[in-house]
Chain A
């Protein structure tokens, strides 16, 4: 069969923790390249303009150019600033956002040579509490960054952020209490397992109010429109990061995207069944994700072909030869994906090589999770370019007079329903 040492690697929990780390970093740090590109192209799509389309296919290299520009800019520390805090503040925001991802499970349990593994960096039995505890620290980055800059606009921005993040954290935490009551667990993977089966097992159907409050609060926590009072370019120039430049600004900027990514992935895990496809067990048998894997490959091949067709179309764009090369590569990828899918089906991997099949099932789950995550990330962008910004007093009124009572009411109603055995 397979050599001993390969089996050792495959059955080491460090292997899968490391792979989870890779997935986490791809979704956050590497993903920033895609997210900034998506934000700019998405904004352009909504605003009826082309957006960045010069460097690379569909302008995707633009994000790299932006990063290089930021990195090579002069790093200015304003006179009278608290130098130490000014330097530390951007790191706090980024670190906090990245830490949360440690407890997020990217796949369900899968079996290899009789042992069970899960794609998760740290399997804590208090995962959910950990998220709430860590995410409250994010306010320090923004508040200290604004305060240490020795700028009145920054100061106003950081004061706003302090008030805003603390107010909305309460409704965020309370909205999740209802979810806890329903799932009866604080472990994120168990929450996803509780949502398997029909689509009405999903958190969004079971606790719609909690979902709305969570979504709104997570927008406020990520300082995104309509809650971007913290930066509010028309009032506060750039809010808390007015005095930041170069990579320190870059860290704040990336921190925002990592925060959005974490919020989006949490929304999926808590309310949209995580890696779970509704009715998958009923339709595809006991191991649905293993069965679905080749079809996922065929789907990917189709998507590659569509993109290849689009890039190879003659149009007035620079890098035409590059586009043709890209189209060729995409066709190759599509061909290999389809061939792999065919091999998987023809070779009957599911019964012949069970360890490979279970890894493939895990990959399917990760991809399902990422697809759902992509929608919620897009929702962030969609909302940003559609809604106006709240005013400070309206924000507080919404947080304390609407969201907080609703979250409390939600706990009461959910509790009664759980007691009655409806949920």
Chain B
């Protein structure tokens, strides 16, 4: 990758021609940072000579907070990790809990979790693609993607009752079954729109000369480097590595689904953009298949340790009442000394939860492997030597969610 101005900075310093460098604080409050990031740039004219990143503006102590909350309450913590695709975080958290407890989730719940995860993934990709367009200077596709995101949020609200902080999973299943008419709404309102918006983005941007000039070769990373930085998700796949947790370690119903893992070639902004576009199409395919195979049955595991008893039992028998009270007030207790790690394919990459249990109703320690943290660590490598205008384009294409950088 050739730098826009091929002269080297050291060479100029030797010749004593170097102009005075300017330090520019890009963020934490800047329209293109999409959250509270701070990037300290040393500019030589418009060229980025040095780039330092600083995180911590959104640190909320979530990992510490988890040590004081029960396993079901902690779902609210997962809501606030990646606030653009919340349902995937919910699934990730409770999947790790279920592994800890040794519980199998009934098939209907796994299929519903699959469907809602994919809707959340599409919403998250829209949050990435739209602002990426805005940061390159074209505002119109932003509204097309935002309309789709709005539809996705409407569906999530229809099922879970909340647009963003869904908190819908429970240890052993879901808080409730999907309401009647969910399948029709998804199939009639949402899926056709997904395909349409993706085709629109393709036709508007993939051959647009200015868009190509602004994104091709910008912020490119090789496969080896991407792996060494710990990249996962669409950013890694754009570099050409076909690693997807849904395929590598099939969870939920992904093992039964037929879908492709789109892979890029150059690992640049252009590839990251269109890998996400293609992933949305694949998500739509997964949703279609999941609905065609959606089984009937309960959405909660038949395990008295973790699942609330039936309401009739609670109001009719003292044992049921006590059972209900125990689970609501104290929550399920995990096995003593168990350590487990489980991960899901979040919208930005592998989202993993490590839980250490000491036998109480609360995690002894919880740790999140958030994908953005690893992706963001490569930012100085991607933008050093490039122009200032490339920085927002790269940051947006990495889809940095500040909530994933600081927990």
Residue pairs across A and B with Cβ atoms less than 8 A apart, 24 shown, are A46-B140, A48-B144, A49-B143, A153-B24, A156-B24, A160-B46, A225-B138, A229-B389, A233-B31, A234-B31, A234-B32, A234-B137, A236-B388, A386-B138, A387-B137, A388-B214, A389-B138, A389-B214, A389-B389, A390-B213, A390-B214, A391-B389, A393-B5, A394-B213
* Interfacial chain B residues near A22, Cβ < 8 Å: none
* Interfacial chain A residues near B135, Cβ < 8 Å: 234
Q: Does B241 contact A (CB under 8 A)?
A: no
Residues of chain A whose beta carbon lies under 8 Å from any beta carbon of chain B: 43, 46-49, 152-153, 156, 160, 225-226, 228-229, 232-237, 385-394
Residues of chain B whose beta carbon lies under 8 Å from any beta carbon of chain A: 4-5, 22, 24, 30-32, 46, 133-140, 142-144, 147, 208, 210-211, 213-214, 387-392
Contact of A391 with B134 in the complex, beta carbons under 8 Å? no
- State the total of A-B contacts with C-beta under 8 angstroms: 86
| Residue of A whose beta carbon sits closest to that of B30 | A237
A387-B32 contact, Cβ under 8 Å, with A47-B140, A47-B143, A156-B46: no
Contact of A235 with B391 in the complex, beta carbons under 8 Å? yes
* Interfacial chain B residues near A153, Cβ < 8 Å: 24
| Residue of A whose beta carbon sits closest to that of B147 | A48
| Residue of A whose beta carbon sits closest to that of B131 | A234
| Residue of B whose beta carbon sits closest to that of A386 | B140
* Interfacial chain A residues near B391, Cβ < 8 Å: 235
How far apart sit A234 and B389, CA to CA, in the bound complex (Å)?
8
| Residue of A whose beta carbon sits closest to that of B390 | A391
How far apart sit A385 and B144, CA to CA, in the bound complex (Å)?
13
Interface centre among B137, B139, B210, B213 (most CB of A within 10 A): B137
* Interfacial chain B residues near A225, Cβ < 8 Å: 137-138
* Interfacial chain B residues near A385, Cβ < 8 Å: 139-140
* Interfacial chain A residues near B214, Cβ < 8 Å: 388-391, 394
Contact of B387 with A391 in the complex, beta carbons under 8 Å? yes
How far apart sit A391 and B4, CA to CA, in the bound complex (Å)?
10
Contact of A235 with B138 in the complex, beta carbons under 8 Å? no
| Residue of B whose beta carbon sits closest to that of A238 | B31
* Interfacial chain B residues near A390, Cβ < 8 Å: 137, 210, 213-214
| Extra inter-chain contacts (5) besides given A156-B46, A237-B31, A389-B136, CB under 8 Å | A156-B388, A234-B137, A236-B388, A387-B138, A390-B210
Interface centre among A228, A234, A387, A389 (most CB of B within 10 A): A234
* Interfacial chain A residues near B208, Cβ < 8 Å: 387-388
Task: State which of B4, B22, B138, B147 has its C-beta within 8 Å of the C-beta of A388.
Answer: B138
* Interfacial chain A residues near B138, Cβ < 8 Å: 225, 386-389
What is the minimal beta-carbon distance from B208 to any residue of chain A, in angstroms?
Answer: 7
* Interfacial chain B residues near A48, Cβ < 8 Å: 143-144, 147
Contact of A392 with B387 in the complex, beta carbons under 8 Å? yes
How far apart sit A389 and B211, CA to CA, in the bound complex (Å)?
8
* Interfacial chain A residues near B136, Cβ < 8 Å: 234, 388-389
How far apart sit A177 and B338, CA to CA, in the bound complex (Å)?
82
* Interfacial chain A residues near B32, Cβ < 8 Å: 233-235
What is the minimal beta-carbon distance from B143 to any residue of chain A, in angstroms?
Answer: 4
A234-B134 contact, Cβ under 8 Å, with A152-B22, A393-B5: yes
Which 5 pairs from chain A and chain B are nearest by CB?
A: A389-B137, A47-B143, A388-B138, A234-B32, A234-B135
How far apart sit A414 and B147, CA to CA, in the bound complex (Å)?
50
| Residue of A whose beta carbon sits closest to that of B143 | A47
How far apart sit A388 and B134, CA to CA, in the bound complex (Å)?
8
* Interfacial chain B residues near A233, Cβ < 8 Å: 31-32
What is the minimal beta-carbon distance from A423 to any residue of chain B, in angstroms?
Answer: 31
* Interfacial chain B residues near A392, Cβ < 8 Å: 46, 387-389
A234-B392 contact, Cβ under 8 Å, with A48-B147, A388-B136, A391-B214: yes
What is the minimal beta-carbon distance from A380 to any residue of chain B, in angstroms?
Answer: 15
Task: State which of A152, A226, A235, A387 has its C-beta within 8 Å of the C-beta of B389.
Answer: A235
What is the minimal beta-carbon distance from A168 to any residue of chain B, in angstroms?
Answer: 16
How far apart sit A235 and B390, CA to CA, in the bound complex (Å)?
9
How far apart sit A228 and B24, CA to CA, in the bound complex (Å)?
21
Contact of A393 with B137 in the complex, beta carbons under 8 Å? no
Contact of B210 with A235 in the complex, beta carbons under 8 Å? no
What is the minimal beta-carbon distance from B384 to any residue of chain A, in angstroms?
Answer: 16
| Residue of A whose beta carbon sits closest to that of B218 | A391
| Residue of A whose beta carbon sits closest to that of B4 | A393
Task: State which of B22, B213, B392 has its C-beta within 8 Å of the C-beta of A235.
Answer: B392
| Residue of A whose beta carbon sits closest to that of B391 | A235
Task: State which of A43, A47, A232, A388 has its C-beta within 8 Å of the C-beta of B211.
Answer: A388
| Residue of B whose beta carbon sits closest to that of A155 | B22
* Interfacial chain A residues near B143, Cβ < 8 Å: 47-49
What is the minimal beta-carbon distance from B15 to any residue of chain A, in angstroms?
Answer: 22
| Residue of A whose beta carbon sits closest to that of B25 | A152
Interface centre among B5, B133, B139, B214 (most CB of A within 10 A): B139
A393-B31 contact, Cβ under 8 Å, with A152-B24, A228-B137: no
What is the minimal beta-carbon distance from B31 to any residue of chain A, in angstroms?
Answer: 6
How far apart sit A236 and B41, CA to CA, in the bound complex (Å)?
13
How far apart sit A232 and B24, CA to CA, in the bound complex (Å)?
16
What is the minimal beta-carbon distance from A151 to any residue of chain B, in angstroms?
Answer: 11
Contact of A387 with B139 in the complex, beta carbons under 8 Å? no
